[in-house]
């Protein structure tokens, strides 16, 4: 863990079975993680982010339904002048692209073929048995952009 604020923000999603393992893998890699433990709604998530100690550039991880909150999350972070280096979408429900989102790179990790070879032109990586390692690689890549 770092002595500074969180470098990775993990949005809530009760359907994400491996969420705790992913957070632990990030922490074991030396990253400071903000586990947003709220209902999956933009008001609750953004309220948590307002009071959070974050260490930009931030990487935001979202799974399935929580991906739909990303435009609101991005706006909240931007109004707080918090630099976001990118987003990792895991088995996403595609959020709407808006005039304010995405403002940073988006990478997709998918466990199904249903996502296709790309999602809105965003790179899609098929998750494999070592999904936590793949996730770490994507976060590292975005933190160095």
- Where exactly are the structural domains of the chain? 6-143
Q: What is the CA radius of gyration of the chain?
A: 14
List pLDDT tens digits, range 70-129.
999 999 999 999 999 999 999 998 778 888 889 999 999 988 765 544 567 788 888 877
Average pLDDT, the chain: 89
Which letter, b or e, does each residue of 76-107 get, where b requires 16 or more Cβ atoms within 10 Å of its Cβ?
Answer: bbeeeebebbbbbbbbbeebeeeeebbebbbb
pLDDT tier at 4, thresholds 50, 70, 90: low
User: Rounded to an integer, what distance in angstroms lies between the CA atom of residue 7 and that of residue 33?
Assistant: 6
pLDDT, one tens digit per residue, over 57-85 is 999 999 999 999 999 999 999 999 999 99
Tell me what pLDDT residue 144 has.
83
Write down the pLDDT at residue 2: 41
How far is it, in rounded angstroms, from Cα 23 to Cα 35?
8
pTM attached to this predicted model: 0.90
3-class DSSP state of 117:
coil
Q: Which CATH architecture has domain 6-143?
A: 3-Layer(aba) Sandwich (3.40)
CA atoms of 65 and 11, how far apart (whole Å): 10
Q: Which residues pair with 122 in a beta bridge?
A: 119
């Amino acid at each position: 863990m770092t002595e500074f604020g969180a470098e990775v923000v993990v949005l809530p999603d009760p359907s994400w079975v491996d969420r705790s393992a992913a957070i632990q893998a990030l922490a074991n890699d030396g990253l400071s993680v903000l586990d947003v433990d709220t209902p999956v709604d933009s008001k609750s998530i953004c309220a948590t982010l307002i009071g959070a100690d974050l260490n930009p550039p931030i990487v935001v991880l979202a799974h399935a339904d929580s991906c739909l909150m990303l435009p609101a999350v991005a706006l909240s972070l931007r109004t707080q002048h918090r630099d976001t280096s990118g987003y990792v979408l895991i088995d996403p429900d595609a959020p709407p692209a808006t005039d304010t989102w995405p403002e940073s790179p988006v990478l997709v990790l998918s466990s199904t073929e249903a996502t296709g070879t790309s999602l809105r032109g965003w790179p899609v990586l098929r998750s494999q048995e070592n999904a936590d390692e793949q996730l770490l690689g994507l976060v590292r890549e975005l933190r160095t952009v």
